[in-house]
Structure 1
């Protein structure tokens, strides 16, 4: 990936104050008594995939279909391996940790660099082992990293996109430092030096065929889900240097009026031919490119964007707009590495432009996000705002063409400087998401849940596929209590628990309450079946439910941040907000099985900087009751608000209000509701 310097600071919009607004609750009606444990509820009456019914209300904060990925860079040991010469066990442990991080952040794909410098992270017959594994180019690492990585990713139902740098040979310009068997040494006419680096010459047909063969070896031998090219095509411009390809142009450039059009055609041919070969070999493997974020500026080309930065069409000869319009790629993931309001390349301007380019083409749009900038020293003031990245995804909601994001890079997701990643996850990745489907294939048949058993550690589920189909993976949904089946349960991800490539799952988040489970099946292109019949697991003992701020029952506005600063938290993080003279509560929603008396307890971290009179709102049967809590003390434990009469139904039971005159953050972390 290429990094770029940002310009002027982000221009924050003025935040309006809302006048006094009365709090109100809309309560649902009472539910019928829960069926016996293991009872089967009828499947929702859908005619297609889960959530296929029209007019279902959805929450844009819990989208059902989204590709969420991070780049894992191997060149120069940026992300993995962390250094050369690690043992097999250490390398594998590091990679598993990256996958676990992706899963914790509700990501569903990784883009891993497997050919960083004309070398390989697998036993390639075309190119030497990568030096970034052992420290020595050609050195056998003692195992097959690509086979291992694909297997580990799929075990977590995380897609594995193999990332290839097409032309870069080395980050130095001395061919004698390449291993003696390197194709660039055996074929000196294939390469040139430029800007202190070595490159394969894109204008030589034999080079293009060789690069395609090297990539296709990985495609045909491994169960990868995607082939991903980055933004390095022809070398980026170097002051005072020209690309030394005059002889290749003289030999192969007939029919082109200038060297620039010829160079673009060379890259076009690689992209077109590689896409064709990939789909001919494995139709389900996605082919995508992550180019520099600007194609051309409107001042140069009326088809371009209202920007004034470097143009990839002219600088590196990447005609990315053409690739989209011709359908040579399945997705485009431009690196929109600028902040909102940047004077040269505004994030919103560029995202809107790319959305207009892909519209109607069938090519999917992912946005390359600059996680490396968030909170980093030397970046523009905009990147010191914890909410900058989250605001990017908020803006993406305006453009349905944007179906996901890819973050550079893994180490920056882990670093979570200034809490920017936690904020993003809290605002946009609070629930899992399915990979967006592509193509027009029919969805698989619905699976059947064969068992649903309550265990000390949760609820154990098993299911079986329909004998007429062979799904790749499954999605598990959970609905509180045992309401009548409703297609709207599946309209977004609020009830989505997990995806898996197995046929069993243990829901460790299940408490003593009554739940109804559903399972759907998905094929290689992520078409989702209609849901199975529901399987009810009845409550045990007195009703008790815990709602954490990460659960589907929690909602909060954009004024609420996300933090994991305090060790007294419940779960993985908690929400915080500044006091305001306006109604902006965070709500904990629960399914109350029957009218009666319930003890309500709260959990929050404590800190001297938190609020001394945080208002907790309880939607009691006789009307809202407000209890003020001093959150400076007694953190990291359950604190009782009292016993209240609650109505039956699924509704917002407990709220945390920001409307308080005392200073200090108000905190929303978790509530526990128990029948007494």
Structure 2
């Protein structure tokens, strides 16, 4: 081979290696979010009748677990069906919080206020997640009589509701509860549609419903320091209770369409515009009051069947009338999170994650908005009762796909319990040790305030006198220019978080240059102190800190402060002499319990749960584990009361114990 060819091959090899390194480099700014569902107590709280202190402890524990996994944003559900998991004068306290709708927590606390404060301490964003239209997941036995006798009710509803109204009947619909006097079903029954005798939604075509929902959301924006407002994909109802599921349903909004046509001749176009108009009204209201608050929606993952080419199935545009492209084109949202709960496919299946993610990304970027796709993490959990479970590598592959598309700015996982509680095939470990090993700020939105904050002051680094690898950092808050941060209505955004950097160097580093590397960012925190456990290094550890605005714009860094050289940070821990499996705690339990076990050696370990008939219920652990003590949470929310067996297996050793679930 000639010298010139050798040099050319070397250059190509170096360029390829550089490109590969850039692709594999973790992003310094990435949206890493999860949904925490409160409806029917899916994620939190475990039940509505737990003591307040347990609810608080559970919430902070889950925030700690999410933070440890690298999650930097939480969608926290505060309105599930015309109720409130926060202190509202407009809607009743949720039964999912207190066990009975309309009953305040005792002792009193406000979960939204609490979770905002706790999230901000951890440097996380908190987006309040509300369902805008759903009024009742199931119909109470007395609701039909109230709505049927209301003189303001649309006449087209009465034939549908007639069979509900039976004053002599003592039969109650299963799983229903009476609605509180503050609930919209009692305050404004004339606003509601009853779909196939199953569910009730607020009529999206009524101007008073639009105004009411804007009022509800803006009450949250005005009174709470939320970072964002988030809507899920429930607009008009999903099948089987959608508008087109029966002639009766299709006719429910005939009179509303006739009264408020707004120039539309086609009712489907009008229905989509009802949603668009409400989204626009809310967006404009947020911009006036607190323009720094982000507004995002997570629509169903298929916009229109056949788009992109080869995609088919139910679509949001024609079935539930959610037009995500309209919101992007009108720029009435800041981000979109299409729910792409499908896998990559090899043979041209009708729904393909990669194809849909790339198509949505093109639409978002073309309209200068962010996209953070929603991942169906629940489909990779052994706790999910489904015939369509993902392979273990499916979600990791989707994250890698997102990172390789420069138009995609992050990921959102449904749902939080699949990170903090369910096994999900070791996904939380993958986040901690791989994808989210390094901290990340959320992406900056170019259309919001990009003013950099002032720098923190007086950075001090102290070394632990006994543990030479532990460094205690502290600093002072920067001054905030109140005048430039005030909104048109007088609200002031004073929220600042901090990015903590560590660089190993023989002399004081160039902090501005070192800020660019994601590997130097060791933590994001909302507090003015941080404890770092530094790895061994032949060079000295240097630290510096930046202040970060609500829109994730960084200040100039502080001067670097030297911590010193770490020779070793290995702690001496006692390794158990033999494998052991402890009794779960609490026991009996409902619905979550903790299982602790000791491993004398590293190796492949499984922890499985069986019912009394010997059928496997779930697999909590199935991976290589290190020697030492381990604790795993078991959530039995979806199981019936009874005795269950949990079995620990490692090598030739198998240990079992009994536990009791009482609901």
TM-score surpassing 0.5?
yes
Superposition map of 1:350-499 within 5 A? 350-376=356-382, 379=386, 383=390, 385-414=391-420, 415-438=422-445, 439=448, 441-455=450-464, 456-457=466-467, 458-467=470-479, 472-483=496-507, 485-486=509-510, 487-499=512-524
Q: Distance in 2 between matches of 1:532 and 1:360?
A: 37
Q: What do residues 277-310 of structure 1 show as CA deviations (whole Å, max 9, x unaligned)?
A: 1121101110000110011133xxxx65541011
Superposition map of 1:49-64 within 5 A? 58=22, 60-64=24-28
TM superposition shift of 1:388: 0.8
Q: Does the aligned pair in 1 maintain the 2:403–2:410 contact within 8 Å?
A: no
Q: Does the aligned pair in 2 maintain the 1:109–1:160 contact within 8 Å?
A: yes
Q: Does the aligned pair in 2 maintain the 1:155–1:501 contact within 8 Å?
A: yes
TM superposition shift of 1:121: 1.2
Q: What do residues 214-239 of structure 1 show as CA deviations (whole Å, max 9, x unaligned)?
A: 11111100101100000000111324
Segment of structure 1 superposing worse, 264-273 or 234-243 = 234-243
State the match for 1:506 in structure 2. 531
1:159 aligned residue (108, 118, 125): 125
Q: Does the aligned pair in 2 maintain the 1:370–1:408 contact within 8 Å?
A: yes
Q: What do residues 26-75 of structure 1 show as CA deviations (whole Å, max 9, x unaligned)?
A: 9xxxxxxxxxxxxxxxxxxxxxxxxxxxx997563421001111111011
Superposition map of 1:579-594 within 5 A? none
SS of match in other structure, 1:386:
coil
SS of match in other structure, 2:379:
coil
Structure 1 gap segments, 5+ residues each = 1-25, 27-54, 548-565, 569-603, 610-631, 638-663, 665-676
Superposition map of 1:106-505 within 5 A? 106-141=70-105, 142-174=108-140, 175=143, 177-195=178-196, 196-238=198-240, 239-240=245-246, 242-243=249-250, 244-298=252-306, 304=308, 306-341=310-345, 343-376=349-382, 379=386, 383=390, 385-414=391-420, 415-438=422-445, 439=448, 441-455=450-464, 456-457=466-467, 458-467=470-479, 472-483=496-507, 485-486=509-510, 487-505=512-530
State the match for 2:164 in structure 1. none
State the match for 1:539 in structure 2. 565
Q: Distance in 2 between matches of 1:633 and 1:121?
A: 38
Q: Distance in 1 between matches of 2:579 and 2:292?
A: 44
Q: 1:207 to 1:220 in 2, by over 3 A?
A: same
SS of match in other structure, 2:32:
strand
Structure 2 gap segments, 5+ residues each = 1-13, 147-177, 482-493, 572-577, 581-599, 606-623, 630-650, 652-663
TM superposition shift of 1:80: 0.8
State the match for 2:58 in structure 1. 94
Q: 1:181 to 1:463 in 2, by over 3 A?
A: closer
Q: What do residues 412-465 of structure 1 show as CA deviations (whole Å, max 9, x unaligned)?
A: 112133223423443311111111112352212333443111113511112234
Q: Does the aligned pair in 2 maintain the 1:114–1:162 contact within 8 Å?
A: yes
Q: Does the aligned pair in 2 maintain the 1:482–1:516 contact within 8 Å?
A: no
Q: Distance in 1 between matches of 2:602 and 2:278?
A: 58
Superposition map of 1:65-80 within 5 A? 65-80=29-44
Segment of structure 1 superposing worse, 185-194 or 506-515 = 506-515
Q: Does the aligned pair in 2 maintain the 1:364–1:403 contact within 8 Å?
A: yes
TM superposition shift of 1:511: 5.7
Task: Give the number of aligned pairs.
Answer: 506
Q: Distance in 1 between matches of 2:626 and 2:554?
A: 46
Q: 1:128 to 1:405 in 2, by over 3 A?
A: same
Q: Does the aligned pair in 2 maintain the 1:387–1:423 contact within 8 Å?
A: no
TM-score, length-normalised on structure 1?
Answer: 0.70
TM superposition shift of 1:126: 1.1
Q: 1:265 to 1:59 in 2, by over 3 A?
A: closer
Q: 1:132 to 1:382 in 2, by over 3 A?
A: closer
User: Which structure is higher in RCO with an 8 Å CA cutoff and minimum separation 6?
Assistant: 1
Superposition map of 1:20-39 within 5 A? none
Q: Which has the higher helix share?
A: 2
